[in-house]
A and B are shown apart, each in its own frame.
Chain A
């Protein structure tokens, strides 16, 4: 079942939403066309500035909370939405978590495990990426959150590379394509450097600040998951901000070399316990669902992957499994928190408008005497509410976007493996829509009561 917010989030997924822009243009056109009525509404709002400001502020604050909550929900919805084209297949150990596969699986998995002529073959140079995880502490005697660092160990060419033929950068990692051209260029240079000097690493800006380290510094990591494989690193640069603020990336080869060096001259039973377990997962990019099904079938039917067995999931399915532990929390956010805030907003607006209508019954009666129709009076009251709701909603949505994304650098809330969330580009639309909807819901009854004012009753009381 789709909730209202899911429908709205999909509808306003981009600030360039044509329907939204058309609706806004229409409203502005009507406001200019009926300028006298618009002016009257503005005057009415100005008459009790304090009330208008208080109502606007309440809407502003509550829209801010909804924008934050929806940004998290919208991001997670996007991650778990099934794609039909250009999708990523995630190959992991079938049963165990964390997944620990032998590196010998990597070569064939990177091609999608084709065995026969006619099998689907992935281009391993462009459309696959291996992942390992290396974690440790900067101070073995003080394992605090600030001292512990986890690296994505991967092939630098898959982080980003430049195609001289197409003159374009390509990356297997999510959201790298959203970096600026300059950031991509710097990242590309850094990745080539990582290939040349495998001890050089990239660290997210926030993680770097937490570690109190700077670019160019060297440090030693005492490993937590690769016992006795302690490595020295040099910080080469920062991973472009955003999703990877808290992450760090290293060249997989550096880890593999260290293990091989540890095992040198040792019999099989004395070799490092992680020797055959370094490959955590493999990503392969396929063009459509049909290709995914073929690759998944090739992998699951291959006799090559038995100890351990492997499985192939779409990225959305894999992420959904990780989010399962949070399902009640997300349900509560979607179905309890957001509706409660929406109702609170409607109540605040309803209260303000109904007080305003009660105070202005004589004015409504005079308007009727002057020839205003009941529907015109209804529109005036609704218009006042909409003016407050839309204006404060729009400002709140935009300001939330600006504050969180541009100034604060993301909303830190660790859910599953997502460390930071960003406000959607469409936040101003959300603010506008929420402000308008709650203003409308809250002002319908007071407006109807204003429409139904009986002139004779009002003037008999005045007399």
Chain B
């Protein structure tokens, strides 16, 4: 029975969906024709219905105009904010990748957190010719080093101070153990803020004033994480010299990365050996290399994958890796399209109500216009234009409201959908593309909602309308 219903439902959905699509396509086609006519009217090639007539009507019925316009405004504003969120996620994945970088994970690992590169022949990676070498200045010395960053990526549960009973008691912090912080900074193009420094290449731990004999782990924080941890101690952000607890150790901030717009914004970096010992993982999960100038990173990635077999590895360009994390973004995007379309349909019914009422109230106007010599199509254009005007104004205000979300911070999760993933802090991005989508969607709602009532207006006969 259920299977039969499901088949029926599927067919019904296909029929209804197909029918609706067909109707919308026809409406859009007619709308496009009407817009051409409007253009012709605007340049004076055909006689026009004065625009002032429609504007005055909207103003006279200002309450209805306001209510309908507000519905457009809300739908478009909401759509703008939701798309800005997804846009921010895409910007983050795009901004995190460096074009010339290749990322190496253990074969089969779907994410850094599951990768274990070990210490087999992969350790000879830095001797390869395809790796870029650059002058690195550290501890007042300058030397040429291969740009290979050996990393251990882990997620650590940090106990929250004073959790409420039954509520969240811990926060997941992404920790990246790094072997050579200066090289890692160069590879990922992450400079430090003034006043900070990378943890030293020695022990990676230090004593702090007032901390007794305890050795604190030197940590370099992403800006977003510094702000998040700052809230625990009622500060806008942790700063160099501040301390915090993470895992079984106490940490001291030695630097803050300029990491806005990258996934590294939510990470803390420390010496790999210290992180490994703390989490019982004395290995490396990731190697990120900068490819020598003039070489194709994708080709180098293929070479690495075929060269190293102990352990077997999979290399990909950093761009490909971050693109693979867009799975969540796509899911969110589909959900947003679904919600927006449904809200839009609700809005369209509202516009139809308004326009049908407008026509019902102005049947005499229509009769007079027909007697004055206006053709049916001109009446059609007139009412259609009114609906578009309403949609455009509502949409513009909606876009303006939605734009206020630009730059707001939000947290989210990124994943390719095969396990793993990263918690990220992102900024909502409202750009011209989103505003254009908002306006087009609003005009589309105006077209669909306005055309049917406008078509009903042209069916009126002049003498009947005058009665």
Contact = CB atoms under 8 A, between A and B. Distances in A.
A329 B78 contact: no
Contact of B81 (A82, A327, A332): A332
A58 B350 contact: yes
A157 B353 CA distance: 60
Contacts of A61: 342-343, 345-346, 349
Contacts of B82: 332, 337
A343 B248 CA distance: 49
Nearest to A97: B155
A451 to B, nearest CB: 17
B64 A225 contact: no
Contacts of B108: 137, 140, 143, 222-224, 227
A224 B110 contact: yes
A96 B157 contact: yes
Contacts of A69: 339
A96 B67 contact: no
Contacts of A326: 411-413
B172 A96 contact: no
A450 to B, nearest CB: 14
B347 interface: yes
Contact of B74 (A323, A332, A340): A340
- Of the four ranges (under 10, 10 to 19, 20 to 34, 35 or more), the interface on chain B belongs to 35 or more
Given A65-B342, A95-B247, A50 B356 contact: yes
A46 to B, nearest CB: 16
B38 to A, nearest CB: 26
Contacts of B144: none
B70 A324 contact: no
B70 A347 contact: yes
A433 interface: no
Contacts of A324: 168, 171-172, 411, 423
A348 B350 contact: yes
B463 interface: no
Contact of B68 (A54, A336, A351): A351
A325 B64 CA distance: 42
A320 B168 contact: yes
A107 to B, nearest CB: 21
Interface stretch (B2-10, B91-99, B190-198): B2-10
B75 interface: yes
Given A354-B64, A407-B2, A336 B419 contact: no
A367 interface: no
- Of the four ranges (under 10, 10 to 19, 20 to 34, 35 or more), the interface on chain A belongs to 35 or more
Contacts of B417: 145, 414
B331 interface: yes
Nearest to B9: A407
A141 to B, nearest CB: 11
B39 interface: no
Contacts of B168: 80, 317, 320-321, 323-324
A330 to B, nearest CB: 10
Query: In terms of DSSP, what is the predominant structure of the interface of chain A?
Result: helix
B157 A321 contact: yes
Given A62-B343, A62-B346, A97-B157, A316 B166 contact: yes
Contacts of B352: 54
B353 A325 contact: no
B123 interface: no
Nearest to A150: B419
B350 A51 contact: no
Nearest to A322: B172
A328 B166 contact: no
Contact of A348 (B169, B328, B349): B349
B346 A354 contact: no
A137 B332 CA distance: 26
Nearest to A323: B168
A97 B155 CA distance: 5
Contacts of B328: 414
A309 interface: yes
B85 interface: yes
Interface string B150-194: 000011110000010111111110000000000000000000000
B162 to A, nearest CB: 13
Given A50-B356, A61-B349, A347 B411 contact: no
Interface in A98-123: 98
Nearest to B339: A65
B436 interface: no
Given A148-B418, A328-B411, A273 B67 contact: no
B267 interface: no
A317 B63 contact: no
A160 B81 CA distance: 46
Contact of A313 (B75, B109, B169): B169
A413 interface: yes
Contact of A347 (B71, B85, B332, B335): B71
Contacts of A143: 108, 110, 418
A329 B428 CA distance: 12
Contact of B346 (A51, A94, A344): A344
A286 B5 CA distance: 43
Interface of A: 50-51, 54-55, 57-59, 61-62, 64-65, 69, 80-83, 94-98, 135, 137, 140, 143, 145, 148, 150, 222-225, 227, 273, 307-309, 311, 313-314, 316-317, 320-329, 332, 336-337, 340-341, 343-345, 347-348, 350-352, 354-355, 359, 403, 406-407, 413-414, 416
Given A58-B347, A344-B346, 14 more contacts: A58-B350, A61-B346, A65-B339, A65-B342, A97-B113, A222-B108, A227-B108, A328-B412, A344-B74, A348-B347, A351-B64, A354-B63, A355-B354, A406-B2
Which 7 residue pairs spanning A and B have beta carbons closest together?
Answer: A82-B166, A58-B349, A320-B168, A328-B410, A348-B350, A97-B155, A355-B357
12 contacts: A61-B349, A65-B343, A96-B155, A97-B154, A97-B156, A145-B418, A224-B110, A321-B171, A347-B68, A347-B350, A348-B71, A351-B71
Interface of B: 2, 5-6, 9, 63-64, 67-68, 70-71, 74-75, 77-78, 81-82, 85, 106, 108-110, 113-114, 116, 154-157, 163, 165-172, 247-248, 278-281, 328, 331-332, 335, 339, 342-343, 345-347, 349-350, 352-354, 356-357, 360-361, 410-413, 417-419, 423-424
